[in-house]
Structure 1
Amino acid sequence: MLATAMPAATAAGLAAAADAITEGEAPQLPRVRNPDFDEPGYLKVIERKPSVLFAAAMWLGALLAAPARLRAGAGLRLPDRRQRA
C-alpha cells in the first residue's frame, strides 16, 4: 500500500538503495567471524551497506522536509555501481 502512495521517483530511489545494500551483503557473508578480514575489505563493506543506508535516510528526510516544488526532480544519487565492484 505504501508503494502506491509514493511518487515513482521516490520508489525508484528506495529500490536503488535496497539493491545497493543487498549487493554489499553478498561479499560480506563469507567473511563473517573471519579474523583475517582486512581493512580494505571492511571499507568496501561499509561503502556498500551503511553508507548507502545513511544516504537513503538523509535523502528521504530532506525529501519529506522540502516544499513540494523542490521534490519533483530530487532523485537519490548513489555511487556508480561499476566503482563499487
Structure 2
Amino acid sequence: MANIKSSQKDIIKSRKRKLRNTSKKSMLKTLIKKVHLAVITKNKENATIAFKKMQPVIDRCAMQGLIHKNKAARYKSNLLKNIKNMNY
C-alpha cells in the first residue's frame, strides 16, 4: 500500500472503477451472447428483441470508453447482418 494519502485514495478509486467496469463488460458480453444464441437457434423474433436490448447498452459502453467505438460498431454490424440473413 502507498504511504501518501492521495495515492491510497487513488488505489481505492481504481479498485472501485475496476469492479464497475468488469460488471458492465460482463453484462455486455451476456447480452451479445443472447443475441448470438438466438441467431444460432434460428429464432428471428427473439434475436431482434435481444438485439434491441443490446444496442443501447453497447452504445453506452462505447461512449463511456469501456470498449472502442469501432468494436461496438463491428459487434452491431455483424449481429444485425446475421439476423437479416436468417431464412424466415
> TM above 0.5, one fold?
no
Q: Structure 2 length normalisation: TM-score?
A: 0.41
Indicate the structure whose relative CO is greater, using CA pairs within 8 Å and at least 6 residues apart: 1
Q: Look at both structures and tell me which one has the larger radius of gyration over its CA atoms.
A: 2
Q: Which has the higher helix share?
A: 2
Q: Structure 1 length normalisation: TM-score?
A: 0.41
